[in-house]
Amino acid sequence: MKIAVLVNEGPYQHQAADSAYLFCAAALAKGHEIQRVFFYHDGVNNATKYTEPPQDDRNIVARWSKLAEEHKVDLVVCVAAGLRRGVVEAVLAPGFRISGLGQLIDSGIKADRLVVFGD
């Protein structure tokens, strides 16, 4: 099954980013394809390389980067939402790229399911 994922919440304000990551990892482990993960609204904050959690806390940004590297998952940050929050090309963590809402529409069309995390 091809799955598209939409993440609307930041990495440490809400459980949505953790849930989305764990969902993607579990889906991949079961043989499903993650067609794309689209980060929108405060979800764009999952993409900044300047995130530095304490050593005893999980590093959600690094988890996303590793997922993209290991499984070739397309991690797309909404350009408009990113600009509003200072998330631009220069601050992106490895594996992330910036694009427009057309990528979300494309995912919805091409995937069998679109799963949304966060409001």
d(CA 51, CA 54): 10
The tens-digit pLDDT sequence of the chain (119 residues) is 999 999 999 999 899 999 999 999 999 999 999 999 999 999 999 999 999 999 889 999 999 999 999 999 999 999 999 999 999 999 999 999 999 999 999 999 999 999 999 98
> For the packed helices 60-71 and 16-29, what is the interaxial angle rounded to 10 degrees?
20
- The β-bridge relationship of strands 2-7 and 113-117 is parallel
Which active-site residues does the annotation give? 78
Domains of the chain, first to last: 2-117 (3.40.1260.10)
d(CA 24, CA 113): 13
pTM of the model: 0.96
- The β-bridge relationship of strands 96-99 and 33-39 is unpaired
Closest by CA to 7, choosing from 119, 117, 102, is 117
